[in-house]
Amino acid sequence: MKTLISLCFFLLLSPLSSSTLLPISNLPSIQAEKLIRELNLFPKDPINIVDRDESEPARPSLVENRFKFPNLPDPFVPAEDLGHFAGYYKIQHSHAARMFYFFFESRNSNEDPVVIWLTGGPGCSSELAMFYENGPFSIAKNMSLVWNEYGWNMASNLLYVDQPIGTGFSYSSDKRDIRHNENGVSNDLYDFLQAFFVEHPEFAKNDFYITGESYAGHYIPAFAARVHQGNKAEEGIHINLKGFAIGNGLTNPAIQYKAYTDYALDMGIIKKSQYKRINKKLPACEAAIKLCGTDGTISCLASYYVCNTIFDSIMSIAGDMNHYDIRKKCVGSLCYDFSNMEEFLNLKTVRDALGVGDIEFVSCSTTVYQAMLVDWMRNLEVGIPALLEDGIQLLVYAGEYDLICNWLGNSRWVNAMEWTGQKEFVASQEVPFEVDGSKAGLLKSHGPLSFLKVHDAGHMVPMDQPKAALEMLKRWTHGSLSGATAEPENLVSAM
């Protein structure tokens, strides 16, 4: 199967053939390496996890520098005026882990919200989103950068983090720092955020929003709960958490896997007879997920294999259809081509600007992917109601043409979620989400909860509908998703 990790993405859901029954012990390494190699994103030298050298000298917890990418379209804008930062944070509660990040100050106002973006995978770099979805710029074929007029830094102070450890430029010299569950992932992110606001205290008072895509449907609720917990316990700097947004995510597998055949039938991918045949696999999947629960280990790995035979069966019928956007075909060995990002990040001038030295950039880490397989089928919806009850906003949005994390499955788990406003949310009417007088989606909201089905978009909404995605962010962070927001008055057009 031709598979592409689409940022959040990147939800590497393509399973082994259901007719190939391999021992569970062989599944993770074979599958992860096979899938990522097919993406043409397999690193030349996968991240090297070795025992820590105790003689390694101590380093500052956060090493950050202002930078300016070479080949920018505005050569006379100094780095100091751009407000672009890149750096490493030595994770406080780790053995030797260092987390890499980008930070782009808002092109509108430093008082705009701080928005963090988490890419999925698990194990895929957030640079994928930065260059292909909602970052300040994209990469042209000649390796020059082009400003993105719909980058989310037009309305927010924007953070991209390579996480979990072992993803992108993030690394460790100690194998004990590899994470296997959301507890480890969210604690690392919380430690990073505390260090970031120590370095940038001027942004600590700003509203804070967590966003991301695909497997980040796991990361985001766990991270939001960790931030909220830290605030309540007064652990460190108070983080002004206002909301979290999940784009085409995997959050409640029990409901979402059941929706695969329904979506495929509705969209004409499979026929009724095929639908009935594939649905015979559902009872085994549901039983396996139940055993996994929220904290299983081996049972969760087993459920990953059992349930993915459903998706595999659909794709065996769909053939070369792009499962991130069913309107498209996979071209050649890939569904999308992200190779110019790796070429760009391997330029010496770029690496010098970022201060990453000779560290190997890992687009999608097999080490991280394998380690997180036991986390895949866990239900991360369970912690969301408590956040809603405390007034933390949740926006779930999904492009209508994505199969792998389709809007139908996402809509179903959102509607099924039990909280005090559930009845009112279920009963609320869908209203058009309009951008510049055109219908860009359908919106359903009640209180702090909103669900948006985005028209003419696949798995990567900010890539397919950049203008609508930026408008969505603006309205949501201003508390007015159903209505237009005022245009910024002090936008710096030169950037």
Active-site positions?
A: 214, 402, 459
40/31 Cα distance (integer angstroms): 15
Q: How far apart are CA 110 and CA 85, in angstroms?
A: 14
Nearest to 56 by CA among 91, 86, 95, 101: 95
Phi, psi of 63 (to 5 degrees): -115, 110
Triad 273, 277, 280: Cα angle to 5°: 145
Rg of the chain's alpha carbons, rounded to an integer? 21
b (16+ CB within 10 A) / e for 131-157: bbbbbbbbbeeeeebeebebbbbbbbb
DSSP code for 327? T
Which residues, including other chains, have CB under 8 Å from residue 316's CB and lie 6 or more apart?
17
Burial of 41 (0-12, 13-18, 19+ CB in 10 A): buried
**Does the bond joining 432 to the residue before it have cis omega, within 30 degrees of 0?**
no
Tell me the C-alpha distance between 489 and 469, whole Å.
20
Q: How many residues does the chain have?
A: 495
The tokens describing 307, both together, are: 């349930």
The set of residues, in sequence order, having a beta carbon less than 8 Å from that of 283 and lying 6+ positions away, is: none
Q: Where are the beta strands (DSSP E) in 27-83?
A: 62-66
Q: How far is CA 330 from CA 3, 287, 318, in A?
A: 8, 33, 11
DSSP line for 188-217: HHHHHHHHHHHH-GGGTTS-EEEEEETTHH
- Cross-strand bridge partners of residue 101: 87, 161
Q: Which two tokens stand for residue 114?
A: 């701080």
Residue 229: both structure tokens together: 């917990």
CB 151 within 8 A of CB 245: no
